[in-house]
Chains A and B, each alone.
Chain A
Amino acid sequence: DARVTQTPRHKVTEMGQEVTMRCQPILGHNTVFWYRQTMMQGLELLAYFRNRAPLDDSGMPKDRFSAEMPDATLATLKIQPSEPRDSAVYFCASGKRDRGDQPQHFGDGTRLSIL
């Protein structure tokens, strides 16, 4: 089965450190999404890309977060500097444009804890 792969699965670091999360979307999927899940806010869209171009990153705090797709097989989400309030599970999802710009397959997430 094709799947979205995220690394690392878990990350614990101290506040102020840079955090990089990586995602390998399903081959052939041309839309990629980054979501954050917390108990308080639920699932929030941070950014999404179509054909590697960022289309919407309005959900992302621009001063510390950045999202890129250096190539079609890799998406990255960086936090610098990290803060305790960034602790959450971060999901990457991918989809195909011909199925609408919607996340069809999610990875298993990166559980991030900022101390």
Chain B
Amino acid sequence: QQQVKQSPQSLIVQKGGISIINCAYENTAFDYFPWYQQFPGKGPALLIAIRPDVSEKKEGRFTISFNKSAKQFSLHIMDSQPGDSATYFCAASKETSGSRLTFGEGTQLTVNP
């Protein structure tokens, strides 16, 4: 019930393309879905987050799409750039209880020039 499954494990995209990373969760009590970006040797950085009262959230080139009935959410990176090459983690939690974030396994994104 606590798992968050992330796919793909790795992704290679050409510069200017769209990167799409998917996550699926099991616990219907989850109400907070963040994405983190991690560069080698650095800690994860909160990129964008969504709550289930909306189906989409956009910040610049990054968009989260959320499908509550399917218990899935995805990160779309538009106009992908080599500087976007990093590992991306989705996560989920029941925010109001202050409970722990459950992280996905991570997706290593490489954007080729």
Interface residues of A (CB under 8 A from B): 4, 42-43, 45, 48, 50, 55-56, 59, 91, 93, 100-109
Contacts and interface: CB of A to CB of B under 8 A. Distances in A.
A4 B43 CA distance: 10
Interface of B: 32, 34, 41-46, 49, 89, 93, 95-96, 98-101, 103-106
Contacts of B93: 102
A101 B95 contact: yes
A103 B46 CA distance: 8
A26 to B, nearest CB: 13
A108 B38 CA distance: 10
21 contacts: A42-B104, A43-B44, A43-B89, A43-B103, A45-B100, A45-B101, A55-B98, A56-B98, A56-B99, A56-B100, A91-B43, A100-B96, A100-B98, A101-B99, A102-B93, A102-B95, A105-B46, A106-B44, A106-B45, A109-B42, A109-B43
A104 B91 CA distance: 13
B32 A91 contact: no
A108 B95 contact: no
Among A55, A102, A107, find the residue whose CB has the most chain B CB atoms closer than 10 A.
A102
B91 to A, nearest CB: 8
